[in-house]
Homo-oligomer: A and B are copies of this chain.
């Protein structure tokens, strides 16, 4: 067996032994154990003997702009996470969807217009510092910087690992055949091919 494999085996045994002790652990928290695959309810739990305060903290907001379970393993199973969004003057957060999470935004600086749509309505607001707005789960939404300076927004999600789906990436960044897009949208082939070219899609 290769050295790499030996390391993994050793690692594996370390975990294997820690489970048995796990039988007495309580439900105070479940820090993500990335050595095992995720389940529909989140990642398996790290043995409590290996958990430290660092598992519940992160300085990642400035670097990655996210504080998701990958950044804070202690978020696992808690159904909450955060992100920091910088929006330049005239900039925006394009139309997107979180299929698995509601989003609450707190404006930290600047002025923005935020909104979401349903089949029957548009719900839109102009927001300034310390204003709060909520996007219910799975609804198409956007943010536009409508102020005269950069805007900073803190976003929190009702999931420790929210999925972020930019609408036009879904439509034009993959190899979804143009004839199918034509049949399932109101766009013609020329428009579709132009957008695919912009976003790097094919077909």
Contact = CB atoms under 8 A, between A and B. Distances in A.
A138 interface: yes
Given A1-B9, A36-B37, A186-B195, 16 more contacts: A5-B9, A9-B9, A11-B16, A25-B38, A25-B161, A28-B118, A33-B37, A36-B36, A48-B120, A51-B123, A61-B106, A80-B102, A108-B108, A115-B180, A140-B171, A167-B185
A180 to B, nearest CB: 6
Interface of A: 1, 5, 8-9, 11-13, 15-20, 22-30, 32-48, 51-54, 56-62, 67, 69-72, 74-82, 84, 90, 92-95, 97-102, 104, 106, 108, 113, 115-125, 127-128, 130-140, 142, 144, 154, 156-159, 161-176, 180, 183-186, 191, 195, 198-199
A138 B99 contact: yes
